[in-house]
Amino acid sequence: MPILVMKFGGTSVATLDRIKRAAKRVGVEVAKGYDVIVIVSAMAGETNKLVGYVSETSPLFDAREYDAVVSSGENVTAGLMALTLQEMDVPARSWQGWQVPVQTTSAHASARIEDIPPANILAKFDEGMKVAVVAGFQGVSPEGRITTLGRGGSDTTAVAFAAAFGAERCDIYTDVDGIYTTDPRIAPKARKLEKIAFEEMLELASLGAKVLQTRSVELAMRYKVKLRVLSSFEEQSDEAGTLVCDEEEIMESNVVSGVAYSRDEAKMTLFSVADRPGIAAAIFGPLAEAGVNVDMIIQNISEDGRTDMTFSCPTDQVARAEKAIEALKDSGDVNFATLDVDDSVAKVSIVGIGMRSHAGVASKMFATLRDEGINIKVITTSEIKLSVLVDRKYLELAVQALHDAFELEKAA
């Protein structure tokens, strides 16, 4: 039997009624002849609640117990989904991560999946079971402890199962009906994409589009898992949603496929840093150790042996970053004059594989922002994306103007 993976996010299993609706979707695929692996998230809001319990009980919690607690939301929905399917006379049972087993590293709270031996579940399919309902987000460490994969991790569970079982497709059911050219709440002209390439989706996910966990897209790209993102709230056809696929499967696409943003960014500059070999390592090593996710980095041309170093990070990591940098100054490892923190910036990015072969994309982006009177504070580029930092108050305007300028409302 061909295997299909269907993943239901928190809003799609938020109530018993919604679980029923999701189970019906599963029933439709079973009727088509698939053996189905269903991956479930916890009911919407449940994981946040559990995280809250943990930090209230123990601010500097033991990550192993954090995982024991926060993984439990998925156990509830997995069991309820299996029961709902059984009530519909669909042969189904639930599996917690350790039962499969989903073998992970022991990096608690952000474990990586190492292997998913398919034998146990395949044996049940052979016995006539039609649906394996698996609790997403969780696994088991080599030490035999429960692990979790990081917030949003059940997307990654779903893709990993699709790869391990050679599934025909991995359908991600969520509360939006696909991937859009940008956030429709900001630019009402945003258009749903029929297809998007893995690499573009990877950029969009890591640049702030929250539909898929970044790691799930990485995995899908590596194992060429066809991913479909679609709504669990609408009647679905086989062409519904957005297909995330190999770029060869996309005949025509716009030069720019989407505009992504991330609202809560901060820009920090060390002025007049003594420029010497090893200075970047001396600054960014301790920042990494402090758990600061540095994003953009700019080092200016130095003059008289001194330079300015600018980097960006999420606003909620500014305090940690400041502490690490002050410690550097105190230890004398890095000699600089002043530290400037601007925590009112946002990042706006344009993404598209067409940028590889088209000139003029950057100049069009810059001219568009100029025409709106928006000052660019930092620029970074890669082969298929261009990101700028702007004042947060211009975020919406920048997204709308870029969406208009690249005519993303029109399909190629």
Stretch that binds Mg ion, among 7-15, 226-234, 265-273, 366-374 (CB under 5 A): 7-15
Give the list of residues 6+ apart from residue 28 with CB closer than 8 angstroms, or none: none
97 binding partner (options ligand ASP, Mg ion, none; Cβ < 5 to 8 Å by kind) = none
Q: Which residue is nearest to ligand ASP (CB)?
A: 41
Q: Beta strands 138-140 and 169-174: pairing type?
A: unpaired
Q: How many residues form the binding site for Mg ion (CB under 5 A)? A: 2
Q: Work out whether 112 is an interface residue with ligand ASP (CB under 6 A).
A: no
Nearer to ligand ASP, 47 or 387 (CB): 47
Which residues inside 7-26 make contact with ligand ASP, applying CB under 6 A?
9-10
362/346 Cα distance (integer angstroms): 18
Nearer to ligand ASP, 155 or 171 (CB): 155
DSSP secondary structure of 58-70: -TT--HHHHHHHH
Q: Work out whether 138 is an interface residue with ligand ASP (CB under 6 A).
A: no
Stretch that binds ligand ASP, among 41-49, 115-123, 195-203, 281-289 (CB under 6 A): 41-49
276/273 Cα distance (integer angstroms): 9
Contact 118, 163 (CB under 8 A): no
Nearest to 279 by CA among 301, 307, 312: 307
Residue with tokens 């799609």: 12
* DSSP class of 334: S
Q: Work out whether 317 is an interface residue with ligand ASP (CB under 6 A).
A: no
- Among 4, 38, 73, 394, which residue sits at the site for ligand ASP (rule: CB under 6 A)? 73
Q: Work out whether 151 is an interface residue with ligand ASP (CB under 6 A).
A: yes
Residue 11 C-beta: closest distance to Mg ion, Å: 9
171 binding partner (options ligand ASP, Mg ion, none; Cβ < 5 to 8 Å by kind) = none
Q: Work out whether 286 is an interface residue with ligand ASP (CB under 6 A).
A: no
Residue type, 353: I
347/25 Cα distance (integer angstroms): 38
3-state secondary structure of 84: helix
Centroid of chain to Cα 409: 24
Q: Which residue is nearest to Mg ion (CB)?
A: 152
Q: Work out whether 41 is an interface residue with ligand ASP (CB under 6 A).
A: yes
Q: What are phi and psi of 141, to 5 degrees?
A: -85, 165
Q: Work out whether 314 is an interface residue with ligand ASP (CB under 6 A).
A: no
Q: Work out whether 153 is an interface residue with ligand ASP (CB under 6 A).
A: yes
DSSP secondary structure of 10-61: GGGGSSHHHHHHHHHHHHHHHHTT-EEEEEE-PSTTHHHHHHHHHHHH-TT-
- Among 27, 97, 139, 152, which residue sits at the site for ligand ASP (rule: CB under 6 A)? 152
Q: Work out whether 152 is an interface residue with Mg ion (CB under 5 A).
A: yes
3-state secondary structure of 207: coil
Q: Work out whether 97 is an interface residue with ligand ASP (CB under 6 A).
A: no
Footprint of Mg ion (CB under 5 A): 9, 152
Footprint of ligand ASP (CB under 6 A): 9-10, 41-42, 47, 73, 136-137, 151-155
